Structure 1
């Protein structure tokens, strides 16, 4: 390899891919700052050949934006779109008959199939349609805030509010009965929290890559079993929910095959709430740390939109995606070869000081705030309008009922390289 190619390995490389690093937020941001200061595009090399494939780490905002918008050059297929060690990828291939993707979904598709599948439910998640369910979301928010108040004055915001609230909203939209929501939450935590012993419910403190993948595979199978039954119900008795749309959908005149259909359910059910949960907890943490800001937004609700948007940037719940170069290309001054694997790291991009002044500071008045937490381009998050709406309604409801809030202990982040956020947020609540 040419000497002028910036590379990292050893402790710094491990920090980029170690789930525990993402729980140690300030040190993680320090690592990204150090790497970005040398080059916004850096080659990550393994210490032991074969443990993982070398990849390009992209930490610069402009470069992540460029890759995100160029879906012809930077593909979601044929390699996995989430970083995994080699043994985990091989296990996934064995489970799926050759695909590195345990779940086939909008996240893994490229053009032209991606847009065909996206259009099936896209209208469901647009603002015009979401206005029709605002009252339903507000009722869920009111019940959630009441539960918080009843549990007070000291409680953990994550399991009581930020985890169940968006789950309940998205399950109502999807058409999953309320009594099945605990099962959906457990499966989502296994799917996205498989690297954190407090979230995966496995009882294992130190899991190998294969054990993590087996845990995820088990969650996927349970999801598929559940949604196979739901599909039969929605085909026999279709209603106006998203599950009915998916169950009865056709692409190019053909019904969705079982793998693609199950992947669609899973991505809506799982990604539709875990990310919003993380952003909601992030917003609450910022307000708990800053009583003056809490008082300002309580008095002036027009500030709430800025708090929601900044929380999404500041938290960056989807922490990375992987892309594969479809051709030789240059980005960030580095020559990327066809077939090279790249990690676009949203945490790093959303904390790039070249784009965001004092990026570690939570600034509700930040403008512009063109963060990349929802991605960009064709793969921009399908549920971004729903996420913003859910957070706004919850905090409007909470601000009506709560006079003040402060930390009642140290919050803790989850150990996860992919989707991450707070797993505990101890609060002391003063009600109105």
Structure 2
């Protein structure tokens, strides 16, 4: 494809269809268009169409008051770049992203090193290729729990002094747009030391926002991280993240419903749950989740930290390694919340590894805990494939992970 800089001129479409292998066909109904480079702050509404490939060159920001609409089937690639200049799509507070794909035509975010073409759905990179670009960041005006008295923070990793990057506020029903059938692949460049971007970062995103049918495939950091906010998210696949699968901070108080987390050798915890950082509190719900721990040593199923509070229910966990893979409560504040029913574990079904018992799978600071009765009253040991809880994985058949036989 020819690469051009975006302009106000009409983009002439190119005729013909690019040939490819039968197992990754080009949709013949989608004409091959141009490769359009985007950079900087979008100051007016835009629509990105499926006949073109859009290339993020550095930070691309959907400004306050601006709506970016992305058509079903559109492919967005990101240029290489390290540090704070890593290519990233950022939706600032007051901006909106309308990215509504379909199961047949998902919207795909990937790297310029991926040779995927217009009309295709399968990437040419592998699960080990995480960290090619930044990721997708959505920032809103919903409440967060931070030390600042005004309840507003600045998203980690971005350099200071920018006109964008703040998140949080007092509007729990804030609307940052809609994301449906979106696949985010090979992301997670570190913007600064110990501040990699998640596949999808949600900072203070409100419940007026729609987020459903999301795939994170190969990310250098977490799959999805919630920094406060109230947005509800459903139907999520996380595969190949190199830190945590689902990560919650700053008193996120929405619901995550129907998720599949597939651990790989470089993954961290399937769940990392942190408590509030300020006086504001909130309580999330995570329900109907299947976790494949991959039989890797020393990986927490869940790590509750810093006064974690919320509820996890209908969780199915299998392929648990007998060495160090536990549900871990990491600090006294979280223990207090657990004992006081501010942190609750509803029905869990776990395939217990050989040589272990269910009682071995709850730890406090990595050590076996005396709080077993409270855990085992809602947790049961099951045989693989005989579970009655967990995710409905049939809704994930559209994903790239499915084509890779990840589940």
The TM-score bracket by the shorter chain reads under 0.3
Tell me which protein shows more strand as a share of its residues: 2
Tell me which protein shows more helix as a share of its residues: 1
TM-score when scaled to structure 1?
Answer: 0.21
